[in-house]
Amino acid sequence: MRTGSSRKRPKREERVLHGLGVSEGIAIGTAHLNERGIMEVPDYPVAAAARAAEHGRLDAAVKRSRRQVEKLRAKAATLPDTVAEELGFLLDAHLHMLADSRLIRGAARRISEDGRNAEAAVQAEIAEIAAGFAAVEDSYLAARIQDVREVGDRLVRSLTNRPYQALSHLPPGSVILTEELSPAETALIAPGGDVAGFATVLGGVESHTAIMARSLGLPAVLGVPALMHSGIANGDTVIVDGAAGVVVIAPTAATLADYEEKHAAFLRERQRLNRLRDLPARTRDGVEICLQGNLELPGELESVLAAGAEGIGLLRSEFLYMNREDLPGEEEQYRALAAVVEAMDGKPVTVRTLDVGSEKLLTSLGGRVSEGANPALGLRAIRLSLKEQPLLETQLAAILRASAHGPVRILLPMISTTGEVRAVRRILEKIHRRLRRRKVAPRIEIPPLGVMIEVPGAALTADALARDCDFFAIGTNDLTMYTLAIDRGDDQVAHLYNPLHPAVLRLIQFATEAAHRAGIPVSLCGEMAGDPRCTVLLLGLGIRELSMAAGSIPRVKERVRKMDHLAANRRANMVMDQWDPGRIAALLDDFNALA
Ligand code: PEP
Ligand code: MG
């Protein structure tokens, strides 16, 4: 997409920056720097008895902000020396302000003495510090007040946990450049809307932000260290090449022409692949593969249908809880899910129960989700649902009611023991009886109940789990993270994140074989499913159902149609004898090059 800036600005030098290409496509547009200006914050009195808790909120926000700046600090260290030094100096100053500074002390005092809420206390303190600095005419101090404001803004955002709403109405052709986009913020970008693409300083390849970008079909590059200090200004022309992981700031005419040609080639290739839409995903020797779509937001339904998906293999239900302060009720959830089921017109929809925690923190759930030392290992996903049962009951009731509109399956995230599945089944049966009594949906049956295999412990006990559930969905995103102990959202270890590691492959094989022995269906819905390089391996391991971002379906279908499943079996056997991920990748590439 191309929407150049019409504003006159001084000529800038072209700069080429590198990061992780997480969502293919070329965006050529106008830079929108997501600098987070001071927001309107709630201002209310806090009773004496509640002030200790308010101090707790402030302390937690300070800790969270420090963690953010520390991440940026580590990222800055990867830059060339002079920039690293300058940026490091600035971020050190921010860290210092987040320790025992006048800002923090003053805000704490306003909570204790004036009885103000933490957000208002932080803002009042910033205003006072700014007024003091303004009285002295000094350019050094003027720069410092900017730092205080930035730190204060970060603190207020940590306190309110509020996404950057402005993302939902940007000028056409905007390319968002920002420190970090949370999955909830990314969800505010309307598919097919005004945003052409985005780039961030932080974020890993399989973070939910990256997944969301792919689902929305938005070119995106994450983990670009110097992005916000590249001399770029709002309105400058910028290019994001989401396949190559390149961001070009202020491109020359020649670079622009080059990328416009790349963009045109990308669109031509997409058109070619679209012609596969109505052809079956069948191997040359006649094995049918079921290709389904992953759905993060209802807005993606159109592209899932357009891609010829045979169903929704993973509906991530978190969208129902995003960007809001309250929790969605049964009726609202039912309507949203029923609309998806109706739209799929008889094709199956696999609804996953709430999978929050780790990087997916939602305001509507307040402090219920683990933010402890290891959020990825804490109270999240099914653990949270079983602890906060009314949440689960409401969601199950909505799913059961939606199942009256077409075939539905229920999928449980982050299962690690059979006890969890049994506990959910008991609750599901109770809700089913309750709905029948209420005569809301008298004729519905209990849909199949399946589990995500995304924790190594679940994969290794897949035989036992298969006795208690009706199907498996292998989640290689988390399975890779937990097996290799590599945070999927952390760009600093992104180079180590590899689903082709033999340990991950053995767990996939083990779980698939357990499902086959038990006679239950098994699908794979991690990002690996949408990577055509891996199709031969997954088919060769016996997987017949793959669920992926809609945009990946045509290319995977093309791969399926070019291969024999017996040859895929042989290649998978060769792969499973290897222990070196590089050699495994080479074996797959060789096979694909010949197909
Ligand atoms: C996975 O972990 O592979 C998965 C599909 O779930 P999510 O990416 O939503 O964690
Ligand atoms: Mg997962």
Per-residue pLDDT, 371: 62
State the pLDDT confidence band at 5, using cuts at 50, 70 and 90. very low
Q: Tell me the Ramachandran region of residue 25: left when phi exceeds 0, alpha when psi lies from -120 to 50, beta otherwise.
A: left
For residues 239 and 198, give the distance between their C-alpha atoms in angstroms, rounded to a whole number.
9
Encoded amino acid at 455, one letter: V
558, part of any domain: no
Note the maximum CA span of the chain: 80
96 is catalytic: no
Would you say residue 101 has pLDDT above 80?
yes
Atom of ligand 1 nearest to the CA of 525: 5
Please compute the mean of the pLDDT values over residues 107-120 and round it to a whole number.
93
Buried b (16+ CB within 10 A) or exposed e, 461-490: bbeebbebbbbbbbbbbbbbbbbbebbbbb
Q: Are residues 442 and 297 in the same domain?
A: yes
Q: How far is the CA of 36 from the centre of ligand 1 (A)?
A: 29
Of the bound ligands, which one is closest to the alpha carbon of residue 215?
A: 1
* Residue at a domain's end among 271, 300, 323: 271
533, part of any domain: yes
Q: To test ligand 1's pocket by mutation, which of 208, 321, 451, 477 has the most ligand atoms within 8 angstroms of CB?
A: 477
Q: What percent of the chain has pLDDT over 70?
A: 91
Q: How far is the CA of 151 from the centre of ligand 1 (A)?
A: 33
290 is catalytic: no
Atom of ligand 1 nearest to the CA of 314: 5
Please compute the mean of the pLDDT values over residues 552-577 and round it to a whole number.
97
Q: To test ligand 1's pocket by mutation, which of 411, 478, 507 has the most ligand atoms within 8 angstroms of CB?
A: 478
Would you say residue 224 has pLDDT above 80?
yes
Q: To test ligand 1's pocket by mutation, which of 214, 452, 524, 534 has the most ligand atoms within 8 angstroms of CB?
A: 452
CA-CA distances (angstroms) from residue 64 to 11, 57, 61, 68, 325? 39, 10, 5, 6, 20
Of the bound ligands, which one is closest to the alpha carbon of residue 474?
A: 1
Please compute the mean of the pLDDT values over residues 377-384 and round it to a whole number.
92
Q: Are the C-beta atoms of residues 40 and 187 closer than 8 Å to each other? A: no
Sheet with 220-222, strands from edge to edge, namely 15-18, 246-249, 237-241, 26-33, 174-178, 195-200, 220-222, 20-23
351, part of any domain: yes
List the catalytic residue out of 32, 208, 432, 565: 208
Q: Which of 475, 15, 52 is nearest to 252 (CA)?
A: 15
- Domain of 69? 48-160
Would you say residue 168 has pLDDT above 60?
yes
Q: Are residues 429 and 292 in the same domain?
A: yes
Q: How far is the CA of 376 from the centre of ligand 2 (A)?
A: 10
Please compute the mean of the pLDDT values over residues 505-511 and round it to a whole number.
98
CA-CA distances (angstroms) from residue 4 to 31, 187, 298, 441? 10, 25, 31, 54
Q: How far is the CA of 96 from the centre of ligand 2 (A)?
A: 36
Pocket residues for ligand 1 (CB within 6 Å)? 211, 314, 316, 355, 454, 475-478, 525-526
Per-residue pLDDT, 163: 55
* Residue at a domain's end among 237, 271, 305: 271
Per-residue pLDDT, 162: 61
Split into its structural domains, the chain has a count of 3
List the catalytic residue out of 501, 525, 534, 565: 525
Q: To test ligand 1's pocket by mutation, which of 312, 484, 525 has the most ligand atoms within 8 angstroms of CB?
A: 525
9, part of any domain: no
The CATH number linked to 545 is 3.20.20.60
Per-residue pLDDT, 3: 42
Q: How far is the CA of 72 from the centre of ligand 1 (A)?
A: 26
Please compute the mean of the pLDDT values over residues 331-359 and round it to a whole number.
93
For residues 200 and 179, give the distance between their C-alpha atoms in angstroms, rounded to a whole number.
5
Q: How far is the CA of 52 from the centre of ligand 2 (A)?
A: 36
DSSP reduced 3-state for 325: coil
Of the bound ligands, which one is closest to the alpha carbon of residue 208?
A: 1
Q: Are residues 358 and 403 in the same domain?
A: yes
Q: pLDDT for 126-161, tens place per residue?
A: 888 878 776 766 666 666 777 788 788 888 888 876
Atom of ligand 1 nearest to the CA of 454: 2
User: Which H/E stretch holds residue 478?
Assistant: helix 476-484
Q: Are the C-beta atoms of residues 201 and 179 closer than 8 Å to each other? A: yes
Nearest CA, atom 4, ligand 1: 475
In terms of pLDDT, which residue wins out, 179 or 397?
A: 397
Q: Are residues 26 and 78 in the same domain?
A: no
Atom of ligand 1 nearest to the CA of 478: 2
277, part of any domain: no
589, part of any domain: no
Nearest CA, atom 9, ligand 1: 316
Cβ neighbours, 10 Å, residue 26: 25
As a whole number, the mean pLDDT across the chain is 89
Q: pLDDT for 301-315, tens place per residue?
A: 999 999 999 999 999
Q: Are residues 60 and 126 in the same domain?
A: yes
User: Which H/E stretch holds residue 81?
Assistant: helix 81-97
Q: pLDDT for 401-447, tens place per residue?
A: 999 999 999 999 999 999 999 999 999 999 999 998 888 777 889 99
For residues 290 and 480, give the distance between their C-alpha atoms in angstroms, rounded to a whole number.
23
Would you say residue 36 has pLDDT above 70?
no
Would you say residue 394 has pLDDT above 70?
yes
Buried b (16+ CB within 10 A) or exposed e, 61-74: bbebbbebbebbbb
For residues 543 and 498, give the distance between their C-alpha atoms in angstroms, rounded to a whole number.
19
2, part of any domain: no
Please compute the mean of the pLDDT values over residues 93-120 and round it to a whole number.
90
Q: Are residues 79 and 221 in the same domain?
A: no
Window from 79-93, 271-285, 378-392 with minimum mean pLDDT: 79-93
Q: Are residues 339 and 468 in the same domain?
A: yes
Q: Are residues 477 and 328 in the same domain?
A: yes
Q: pLDDT for 175-198, tens place per residue?
A: 999 888 877 778 777 666 789 999
560, part of any domain: no
Of the bound ligands, which one is closest to the alpha carbon of residue 525?
A: 1
State the pLDDT confidence band at 7, using cuts at 50, 70 and 90. very low
* Residue at a domain's end among 134, 160, 186: 160
Of the bound ligands, which one is closest to the alpha carbon of residue 489?
A: 1
β-pair type (26-33, 237-241): antiparallel
Would you say residue 470 has pLDDT above 80?
yes
CA-CA distances (angstroms) from residue 570 to 506, 512, 538, 587, 590? 16, 17, 12, 11, 13
The CATH number linked to 84 is 1.10.274.10
Q: Are residues 514 and 367 in the same domain?
A: yes
Would you say residue 506 has pLDDT above 70?
yes
Token couple for 263: 């963009």
Q: Are residues 295 and 363 in the same domain?
A: yes
Please compute the mean of the pLDDT values over residues 521-525 and round it to a whole number.
98
Q: Are residues 197 and 247 in the same domain?
A: yes
Q: How far is the CA of 261 from the centre of ligand 1 (A)?
A: 35
Determine if the pTM surpasses 0.75.
yes
The CATH number linked to 191 is 3.50.30.10
Per-residue pLDDT, 332: 96
* DSSP of 429-462: HHHHHHHHHHTSSTTPPPPPEEEEE-SHHHHHTH
DSSP reduced 3-state for 591: helix
Nearest CA, atom 3, ligand 1: 475
Per-residue pLDDT, 1: 44
Q: Are the C-beta atoms of residues 359 and 183 closer than 8 Å to each other? A: yes
- Alpha-carbon dihedral of residues 555, 559, 561, 563, nearest 10 degrees? 180
DSSP reduced 3-state for 57: helix
Atom of ligand 1 nearest to the CA of 355: 9
Per-residue pLDDT, 6: 43
Q: How far is the CA of 530 from the centre of ligand 1 (A)?
A: 13
State the pLDDT confidence band at 484, using cuts at 50, 70 and 90. very high
Atom of ligand 1 nearest to the CA of 294: 5
Q: Please identify which residue in the block is written with the tokens 């929790």.
A: 327
Would you say residue 455 has pLDDT above 90?
yes
Nearest CA, atom 6, ligand 1: 475
Please compute the mean of the pLDDT values over residues 30-47 and round it to a whole number.
77
Q: Are residues 361 and 498 in the same domain?
A: yes
Q: Which of 366, 348, 347, 343 is nearest to 356 (CA)?
A: 366
